[in-house]
Amino acid sequence: MSQGTLFVNDFPRGIVAKRLVEFYNLDVKIESTSSPTFIKEFPLKRIPVFITSDGVKLQEMTPLSIYLANFISDKKVKAQLLSEGNILDQALQGKWMSLSNTDFFTCAANIFYMSVGNWQYYEELDEKFWKEVNAAASVFEERLSKNNYLVNDNITLADLITGVQWAFSFQHILGEEFRSKYPSIEPWVRRVIGEPILKEQFKDFKLLEKNCDSKFH
């Protein structure tokens, strides 16, 4: 019996959840966000979302990805991704996923939306978002300048989730000028998206030359 249904699209926040299901052959159905069920049951339209076989609704990327990873049959892989048995590493995973998903990626996405005309451009907001992005980047740089991964010596779910967000940002938002200030982040991004679970998803990975909002400056 299926564990439930995952509703997802190609937006960065849904990539890891979808790839967990596909790569580890989890007993989970995948449906598009154009599904009538998604439209009816999830009015906030956030992705990814999940309905268990018992009808319980799960939302928000981080807890949902953790939930799905718990169904991985390979105990060694599951233990590594989730830092099983190490409560400090589990807390550190939460720290990095929260920092990336809120302080970093939300602000980076807002810069992107203004640059492509989805939102009206306001210089004050643009400056505020860049300040937040740079602050988050400095925290990542501090860690990655001395370590290959975010939590320990192995790749964890936190690396996958945050690495995808940084990879998308390096493709569409953050140009060479930004990346040069944080030289340890790009090598980490390439390690993460080079993992078998993500390699196909990012086979055409290409770095953005200029910041997406450079036309305003």
CATH number at residue 194: 1.20.1050.10
Residues 146 and 210 in one domain: yes
Q: Note whether 129 and 107 are within 8 A (CB).
A: yes
Q: Is 209 exposed, middle or buried (0-12, 13-18, 19+ CB in 10 A)?
A: exposed
Residue 78 counted as domain residue: no
Residues 160 and 142 in one domain: yes
Q: Is 106 exposed, middle or buried (0-12, 13-18, 19+ CB in 10 A)?
A: middle
**Structural domain count of the chain:** 2
Judged against a pLDDT cut of 70, whether residue 115 lies above it is answered with: yes
- Return the pLDDT at 118: 85
Range of the domain at 154: 83-216
Last residue of a domain, one of 73, 94, 113: 73
Residues 89 and 149 in one domain: yes
C-beta neighbour count of 89 within 10 angstroms: 18
Residues 207 and 105 in one domain: yes
Query: In which band, very low, low, confident or very high, does the pLDDT at 121 lie, cut at 50, 70 and 90?
Result: confident
DSSP 72-118: -S-HHHHHHHHTTT-HHHHHHHHHHHHIIIIIIHHHHHHHHHHHTTS
Residue 156 counted as domain residue: yes
Residues 191 and 97 in one domain: yes
Last residue of a domain, one of 73, 95, 130: 73
- Return the pLDDT at 214: 75
Q: What is the pTM of this model?
A: 0.95
Judged against a pLDDT cut of 90, whether residue 151 lies above it is answered with: yes
Residues 94 and 59 in one domain: no
Query: In which band, very low, low, confident or very high, does the pLDDT at 215 lie, cut at 50, 70 and 90?
Result: low
- Return the pLDDT at 138: 98
Last residue of a domain, one of 31, 52, 73: 73
Tell me the per-residue pLDDT of 56-85, one tens digit each, with 9 for 90 and over.
999 999 999 999 999 999 999 999 999 999
